[in-house]
Every structure is written in structure tokens, then in C-alpha cells.
């Protein structure tokens, strides 16, 4: 598979040497060409490039969109990789992208994370700290990171199909390209980071925040176009202050919290394998989280008394502590679901491999004890992400959330738990309990009240949700 790498340059004498040498030091054994597109350099950039086996093209029209477009159209590779002159790529950068394309023929484009190298002022420090957090949040919302010109790969056929870069964009042409590619095929963010310069943050905190977050991200993703038609070269370093940091942190945290929950609720809950309420108006489902526990058998006794079946979402590390309770749940005819291995509150921020291991490990523990392979999953704390969603789809499982929270995790009294459940109760309720002492004390009265309302307890042995 032939690969072309395109690098736009403009007065890059300080950076171009390290960039090119990192590209020439790749472990990829296939055919590869490096195309450098000069955008009117007046320093020693072109002189330095004469020392390397790269193809140099001159693009007189100013702007990275023109430079990238010229380079991409000149590329002869099946796959085109994009990076910048102030960026250093790891030795396996090319091979990682190629391997991913070979594994999934439906992929048309890939990208990886961008990490900032140096810290020279307060602004660069803040962006170095917060950028990984922002990227994780973006993956949760969109399923992938927006394209950055310094680190993405695309099949040339797909690039041509969408018409290449938008030449009307002075900045943000990379993000725009990624958004248009996503409309015609599968794109994916993988673990293939590059190291780039922090020089783009020399202009001061608020200007950096405006250009690289408001301009390049929000406007391009929401309004599909930038709001500036001129982006001058960055030269001078300006100071920032602690007030700027506080404002930025408040904006970031507030926006992130509401955006994540709004977007996930709107998009993910529409998927047919994610259940947060029952379709029937005269049925309810009882569920228990965080077990097995010292109270499991007594909870089972109470359920038996009222002839009710439930779903127990078990935590892997607790299964290892109470294996007999797992067997008891299964023998008494209840369904066992997966609630991850560690019940980590930050599982949504983990990568695919980590999440897959959490779920796989717990599934294997349950299957080894009971012979039953779980098909239901409940994310810890109900926090669900696009990466987690990919794992669930690959495992062919279903996600069960809830719409009636007992809030027994707040250590409410038995009467407090009772009123929380009953006040929310309706046909179609999925009730969330946890294996707690006060839950056990309130359970009998809650089940009795539900039965008095002529609601049917769904039995997952007989019915599929």
C-alpha cells in the first residue's frame, strides 16, 4: 500500500529538520513519498530541504488550505497522511495508520491525538494541561476527534470524492474536511499521537482561546464555517494571568458538563440496544447494582416471597469476593448483567482496550461460575460514552439504564427509599436499586405497593427487552 505524506511549510527553518527526519525514520516497509509544499518561505526552509529525499512543490497562493490541497492532489499514494512542519511523529506513525486501514476496509479516514511539546508561558501551560481533557470530551460527544492538519490519514479516493479542502477557508480547513468525510463513510480516532509546537499559543490567553476553541472548533462544527478570513503568522509571546485561567476553567467545565450530557442523551438513547424505559405501560423492571454483597441472599429471599424476578448487574471485583452469591442469583432464576469489573467513576474517559477488558473480564467471571453469558450491561454511574458504545456493539450486548432511581446510594432511610421509588413509579419504569442494608429493609413494602397498582413485573426469562 503506497503512502504519501504532505507537509505544508512557510518560514519553517527552526522546525523542518526535526519534522523531516522523524518522517524518514519510520518503520514502515512499504512504498512512501514525502511531499513538502512551500507557501512562499523567505528564510532558509528551501535550502534545508535540499538535504533530504523529499519532493518540494511551490504553492504561491497564501494559506494552508491551498498548500494542503496542492500537496494532496500531487500525491500518488493510496493513503495520504497529513502533518505540519513544527510536528514530530513517532517511528510507527505510518505503520499504525496503514494497519488500521487494512483491518477495516470500511474506514476512509483516521486521526490521532495532538500533544504539545514546550511550555514557555502561562497560556501554553494551560493548553498543554487541558487539551487532553477536551479531546476526551469531544470523543464522548462526537465519537471521534476533529481533524487537525498535523495528524490525520485519508484514502485519496475519499478525499477526491468530497472535493478536497475548502479553499475559501483561511483556517480550519482540516476540521471542515473531517466533518465532510464523516458524511460519506467511516472515520475513527486511534491511539497514534504526535508532538507539535506550542507556538500557536504565543498570542496570549484570550486570543488563543478565541481562535483555537471558538473559531476552529465551535464555529466550524456548529456553523460549518470560520468567522475570520485572516490568520497572521504567530511571532511574539504575550503574558497571561491567573484570572484568565479561572475564566477558562469555568467556561470549559460548564460547557463540557452540559454538552456531554445533552449530546449523549439526544444521540445515544435513540439506539435500539440502549434501554432506559420499558415500552409496556403496565410493566416494571426491578434491577440491582453493585453486587454481589453480604445482603444478596436476603434480597433474593424477599424477591422469592413476592415471586418476582430481577436483573442483577454485578461488579467483577465483587464477584471474586462473593462467588456463592452469584450462583444463588442464577439458581433462583434471575438474570445476571455486567456492571464492569472495577466500577470506576472515570471509565467513560478510558480507551477502547481498557473498557473492553473491564467488560470482558466480568463476563468471563460470570460465565465461569454459572455457564451463563451476560447480554446486558449497565455502565458505572450510568455514564456512557461513544467509545463504550463501540465496545458494546462489538460484544453484541444491550445497555440497560433506568428511569426510576431509588437514590439508595445516598444512604437514605428505608422510608426515604420507599417514597423515592413510589413517587416516580409508572408503567414502563426500570427501577434502580443497589445492594444496601436500607434497600433490603424497604424492598418488601415497595414490592407490595407496586403489586397493589396492578403493575406486572417483567420476567426476562420469558420476555426480551
Q: Which three cell numbers stand for residue 96?
A: 499504525
- Grid cell 461513544 — which residue? 386
Residues with catalytic function? 289, 434
Q: How many CB atoms lie within 10 A of CB 261?
A: 13
Amino acid at each position: 500500500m503506497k503512502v504519501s505524506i504532505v507537509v505544508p511549510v512557510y518560514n519553517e527553518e527552526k522546525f523542518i529538520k526535526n519534522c523531516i527526519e522523524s518522517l524518514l525514520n519510520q518503520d514502515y516497509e512499504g512504498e512512501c513519498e514525502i511531499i513538502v509544499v512551500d507557501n512562499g518561505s523567505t528564510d532558509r526552509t528551501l535550502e534545508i530541504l535540499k538535504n533530504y529525499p523529499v519532493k518540494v512543490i511551490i504553492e504561491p497562493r497564501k494559506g494552508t488550505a491551498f498548500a494542503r490541497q496542492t500537496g494532496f492532489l500531487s500525491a500518488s499514494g493510496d493513503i495520504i497522511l497529513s502533518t505540519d512542519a513544527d510536528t514530530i511523529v513517532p517511528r510507527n506513525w505510518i505503520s499504525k495508520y496503514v494497519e488500521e486501514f487494512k483491518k477495516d476496509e470500511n474506514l476512509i479516514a483516521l486521526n490521532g491525538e495532538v500533544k504539545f511539546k514546550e511550555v514557555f508561558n502561562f497560556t501554553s501551560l494551560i493548553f498543554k494541561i487541558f487539551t487532553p481533557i477536551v479531546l476526551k470530551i469531544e470523543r464522548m460527544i462526537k465519537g471521534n476527534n476533529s481533524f487537525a492538519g498535523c495528524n490525520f490519514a485519508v484514502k485519496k479516493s475519499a478525499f477526491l470524492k468530497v472535493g478536497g479542502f475548502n479553499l475559501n477557508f483561511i483556517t480550519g480547513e482540516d476540521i471542515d474536511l473531517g466533518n465532510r468525510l464523516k458524511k460519506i463513510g467511516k472515520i475513527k480516532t486511534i491511539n497514534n499521537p504526535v508532538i507539535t509546537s506550542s507556538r500557536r499559543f504565543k498570542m496570549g490567553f484570550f486570543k488563543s482561546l478565541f481562535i483555537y476553541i471558538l473559531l476552529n472548533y465551535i464555529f466550524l462544527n456548529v456553523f460549518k464555517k470560520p468567522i475570520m478570513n485572516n490568520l497572521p503568522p504567530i511571532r511574539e509571546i504575550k503574558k497571561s494571568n491567573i484570572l484568565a485561567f479561572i475564566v477558562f476553567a469555568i467556561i470549559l467545565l460548564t460547557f463540557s458538563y452540559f454538552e456531554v450530557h445533552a449530546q449523549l442523551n439526544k444521540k445515544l438513547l435513540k439506539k435500539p440496544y440502549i434501554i432506559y424505559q420499558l415500552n409496556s405501560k403496565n410493566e416494571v423492571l426491578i434491577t440491582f447494582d453493585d453486587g454481589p454483597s453480604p445482603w444478596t441472599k436476603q434480597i433474593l429471599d424477599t424477591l422469592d416471597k413476592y415471586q418476582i424476578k430481577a436483573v442483577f448487574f454485578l461488579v467483577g471485583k465483587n464477584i471474586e469476593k462473593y462467588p456463592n452469591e452469584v450462583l444463588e442469583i442464577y439458581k433462583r432464576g434471575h438474570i445476571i448483567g455486567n456492571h464492569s469489573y472495577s466500577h470506576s467513576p472515570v471509565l467513560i474517559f478510558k480507551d477502547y482496550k481498557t473498557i473492553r477488558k473491564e467488560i470482558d473480564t466480568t463476563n468471563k467471571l460470570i460465565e465461569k461460575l454459572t455457564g451463563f453469558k451476560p447480554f446486558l450491561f449497565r455502565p458505572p454511574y450510568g455514564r456512557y460514552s461513544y467509545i463504550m458504545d463501540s465496545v458494546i456493539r462489538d460484544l453484541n450486548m444491550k445497555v440497560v439504564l433506568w428511569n426510576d432511581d431509588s437514590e439508595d446510594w445516598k444512604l437514605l432511610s428505608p422510608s426515604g427509599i420507599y417514597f423515592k421509588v413510589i413517587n416516580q413509579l409508572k408503567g414502563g419504569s426500570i427501577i434502580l436499586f443497589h445492594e444496601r442494608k436500607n434497600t433490603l429493609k424497604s424492598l418488601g413494602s415497595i414490592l407490595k405497593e407496586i403489586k397493589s397498582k396492578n403493575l406486572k413485573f417483567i420476567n426476562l426469562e420469558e420476555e426480551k427487552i
